[in-house]
Every structure is written in structure tokens, then in C-alpha cells.
């Protein structure tokens, strides 16, 4: 592995609040404009709720790595070859953090497939730059008219 991975380490229990915070901010910025659910994004999907859920969810910490250069700035979760989550603090995006996490997931963790929101062209382009391609596999996002598309490497 290259020196690009020097700031990547396994997640620890004390990272859960920061991981939840990064995820919540990204969900609100990227997905709220599509789904427009105040109750979900500002009531149910909160930092304390998500951190508590992750603390009790088997495998979350074990399958997550963080980018930490003194501050946790992003994370990626890979389970059984599937990249489940990749988020970088929104104000720190476009600085190579997501790129390093994604390459680490592919090279060190065997990440070779993922699901991406069909209406998220920015994410699709990012994954394509890393050797992933869209497949014909789609699935509906629960109780919506939106779809996830499977991408593979």
C-alpha cells in the first residue's frame, strides 16, 4: 500500500459520533433535496440516533475505516466485498480524502461492488473514475419512486 493510506485506520468506538455526524451532514446535503422528508432527515436521522444505532449494530465498527489526520474527516464501510458507505465531511471534499478511502477499500478490503442512487450523477462519476461501471441491476429505495443502481469493478 502506498503512503496515501497513512491516515487510514480501523474505526474505533470513540469515532462513532464523528462518523454519524459526517453521514448526517452528507445525507441532508445530497439526499434531502431528492426525498424531501422533514420527519426523516431532521427528526429520525439525527447524529445521536445514528451513533446509538451504530454502537449496537454488529459489524459496523469492524467493517469501517476512517481517514484520520488528527481529525476524522471521512469513512468507508466494506462488508463481504460490498462498499456500503463512503462519506467525507462536506467542507473537506475534493481534497483527495474520498479518493484515498475508496482506493483503500478496493485494494485492501476487497471492495468490488456498491449501490448508488440513480439521481446522484456526481457519485456515479466518482465511482466510474475508480474503475466501477453501472450494471443492469436496480432496486427501489423503500417507499419511494427512486432507484439504486448496482456498480461493479
pTM for the model: 0.89
Return per-residue pLDDT of the chain as tens, 153 residues. 446 799 999 999 999 999 999 999 988 988 888 877 888 888 888 999 999 999 999 889 999 999 999 999 999 999 999 999 999 999 998 899 999 999 999 999 999 999 999 988 989 999 999 999 999 999 998 888 889 999 999
pLDDT value at residue 3: 67
Torsional sign, CA 34, 30, 53, 138: positive
Residue 130 · residue 103 · CB < 8 Å: yes
Return phi, psi of residue 100, to 5°: -65, -45
Task: Specify the pairing of strand 72-79 against strand 82-88.
Answer: antiparallel
- DSSP letter string, the chain: --GGGTTEEE--GGGHHHHHHHHHHHHHHHTHHHH--HIIIIIIS-HHHHHHHHHHSTTTTTTEEEEESSSEEEEEEEETTEEEEEEE-GGG-SSSHHHHHHHHHHHHS---EEEEETT-HHHHHHHHHTT-EEEEEEEE-TTSS-EEEEEE-
What residue ranges define each of the domains in the chain, with the CATH number in brackets?
Answer: 3-111 (3.40.630.30)
Amino acid at each position: 500500500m502506498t503512503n496515501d493510506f497513512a491516515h487510514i485506520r480501523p474505526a474505533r468506538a470513540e469515532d462513532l459520533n464523528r462518523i454519524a455526524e459526517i453521514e448526517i451532514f452528507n445525507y441532508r446535503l445530497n439526499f434531502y433535496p431528492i426525498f424531501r422528508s422533514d420527519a426523516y432527515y431532521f427528526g429520525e436521522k439525527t447524529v445521536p440516533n445514528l451513533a446509538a444505532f451504530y454502537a449496537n449494530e454488529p459489524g459496523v465498527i469492524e467493517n469501517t475505516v476512517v481517514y484520520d489526520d488528527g481529525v476524522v474527516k471521512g469513512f468507508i464501510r466494506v462488508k463481504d466485498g460490498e462498499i456500503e458507505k463512503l462519506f467525507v465531511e462536506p467542507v473537506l471534499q475534493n481534497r483527495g480524502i474520498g479518493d484515498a478511502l475508496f482506493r483503500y477499500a478496493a485494494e485492501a478490503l476487497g471492495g468490488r461492488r456498491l449501490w448508488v442512487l440513480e439521481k446522484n450523477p456526481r457519485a456515479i462519476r466518482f465511482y466510474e473514475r475508480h474503475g466501477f461501471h453501472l450494471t443492469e441491476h436496480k432496486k427501489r429505495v423503500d417507499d419511494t419512486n427512486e432507484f439504486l443502481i448496482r456498480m461493479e469493478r
